[in-house]
Amino acid sequence: MTKNKKEVNIETRKGSTMDEWPEPIVRVQSLAESNLSSLPDRYIKPASQRPTTIEEAPAATNIPIIDLEGLFSEDGSPDEAIMAQISEACREWGFFQVLNHGVRPELMDAARENWREFFHLPVNEKETYRNSPKTYEGYGSRLGVEKGAILDWSDYYFLHLLPLHLKDFNKWPSFPPTIREVIDEYGKEVVNLCGRVMKVLSLNLGLKEDEFQDAFGGENIGACLRVNYYPKCPRPELALGLSSHSDPGGMTILLPDDQVFGLQVRKNDMWITVKPHPHAFIVNIGDQIQILSNSAYKSVEHRVIVNSEKERVSLAFFYNPKSDIPIQPLQELVSTHNPPLYPPMTFDQYRLFIRTQGPQGKSHVESHVSPR
């Protein structure tokens, strides 16, 4: 216990030095609008990371699509066939699309289009909301603070919805005028959906339905939103909109652009381009659920490619454990034959690695293994 405490302090000290970005921030939107004929070096990925270095799956391949209609009957008992589809998707893919998920299609469209309008504001009007690596809240253009890093071709906006003491409307945009209200409602609906999915995740592992939720801190979970804006890119074959990563949190509910593809999911040694179904959400397992499930569920690598024809907007909603409780494999899921693969760590501690290093495939969760 004492040892753990000491480690936390070291991490906190490291964190507090990250008050500013290591280099002046350049908005990708500004670069895209300056009619560049070539791509600035900062955005040229090494050959091994470029979009075409790993084979792409045949165009028709897609992640599983699961219809949630009738998932919970009136008496609260879940539908076994839908549960089985979710179980397989979490184990084999770490990613799936859901239909009839209970969030109104009009609300989904309003959420995305309000953000599109925000990103279409002139860059200088968005600078009021510029973020720092301390909390990441606000308008940003890089992840990670490593000096000289090759950057991704995207701008973003990051904000907290839960816990309530972190939700601060002053850190949310005030334009378009409807954006705060729409995002607030959207957030509540998506939290609701996450609650239902969490029950299924527990039941599918033979646990009581509230077990995952309780391990996340019950009502005290965290929820935040990252809105990604991927401008048109002059040399899309050399860049990435978002580098390969797994999501550090619990579970992500992604609302993709309704017109433009871009998200790719790694399956075996291929990249699968997700073909979003109209008004579906894309659900994916994050590192914290992989850890709680002792790796029964997989937090899978994904990335975003860009194109020279069209911009793309996506909303990534992160459903996270309460940030100061240790997350470790659930006791019922480990035994002498199936020992815990991960030592306990709070999400606060875990997130610091990511915030320092930026997206790096699955290296974060893979380095966080129990000593053998």
Can you tell me which of 249, 256, 321, 329 binds ligand OGA, judged by CB under 6 A? 256
The answer for residues whose C-beta is within 8 angstroms of residue 32's C-beta and 6 or more apart is 231, 232, 233, 234, 311
Does residue 228 bind ligand OGA (CB under 6 A)?
Answer: yes
Can you tell me which of 39, 242, 327, 354 binds ligand OGA, judged by CB under 6 A? 242
| Helical axes 179-203 vs 80-88, angle rounded to 10° | 100
Can you tell me which of 159, 239, 304, 354 binds ligand OGA, judged by CB under 6 A? 304
Query: Which residue lies nearer to Ni ion by CB, 242 or 330?
Result: 242
- DSSP letters, 5-63, are HHHHHHHHHHHHT-SS-SS----HHHHHHTT-SS--GGG---GGGSTTSSPBPPTT---
Q: Which stretch binds ligand OGA (CB under 6 A): 32-40, 93-101, 106-114, 254-262?
A: 254-262
Query: Which residue lies nearer to Ni ion by CB, 155 or 211?
Result: 155
- Nearest approach, Cβ of residue 264 and Ni ion (Å): 11
Query: Which residue lies nearer to ligand OGA by CB, 344 or 361?
Result: 361
Distance separating alpha carbons of residues 262 and 253, to the nearest angstrom: 16
Query: Which residue lies nearer to ligand OGA by CB, 274 or 341?
Result: 274
Query: Which residue lies nearer to Ni ion by CB, 110 or 282?
Result: 282
Choosing among Ni ion, ligand OGA, none, which partner's interface includes residue 290 (Cβ < 5 to 8 Å by kind)? none
With 0-12 / 13-18 / 19 or more C-beta atoms within 10 angstroms meaning exposed / middle / buried, residue 75 is exposed
With 0-12 / 13-18 / 19 or more C-beta atoms within 10 angstroms meaning exposed / middle / buried, residue 146 is exposed
Can you read off the two tokens belonging to residue 142? 């890089």
**Pair type for strands 242-245 and 138-140:** unpaired
In 3D space, the residue among 220, 216, 275 whose CA is nearest the CA of residue 251 turns out to be 216
- Nearest approach, Cβ of residue 73 and Ni ion (Å): 33
Does residue 221 bind ligand OGA (CB under 6 A)?
Answer: no
- One-letter amino acid at 301 equals E
- Nearest approach, Cβ of residue 270 and ligand OGA (Å): 18
| Helical axes 105-120 vs 179-203, angle rounded to 10° | 130
- DSSP letters, 147-205, are TTPPPPS-EEEEEEEESGGG--GGGS---STTHHHHHHHHHHHHHHHHHHHHHHHHHTT
Q: Which stretch binds Ni ion (CB under 5 A): 154-162, 173-181, 223-231, 244-252?
A: 244-252
Query: Which residue lies nearer to Ni ion by CB, 211 or 247?
Result: 247
Does residue 262 bind ligand OGA (CB under 6 A)?
Answer: yes
Does residue 247 bind Ni ion (CB under 5 A)?
Answer: yes
Can you tell me which of 314, 323, 346, 349 binds ligand OGA, judged by CB under 6 A? 314
Instruction: Sketch the per residue contact string, 107 through 136, with ligand OGA: x for CB under 6 A, - otherwise.
Output: ------------------------------
Can you tell me which of 27, 101, 199, 226 binds ligand OGA, judged by CB under 6 A? 226
Q: Are 263 and 226 in contact (CB under 8 A)?
A: no
Does residue 354 bind ligand OGA (CB under 6 A)?
Answer: no
- Could you list the residues that contact ligand OGA (CB under 6 A)? 226, 228, 242, 247, 254, 256, 262-263, 302, 304, 314, 316
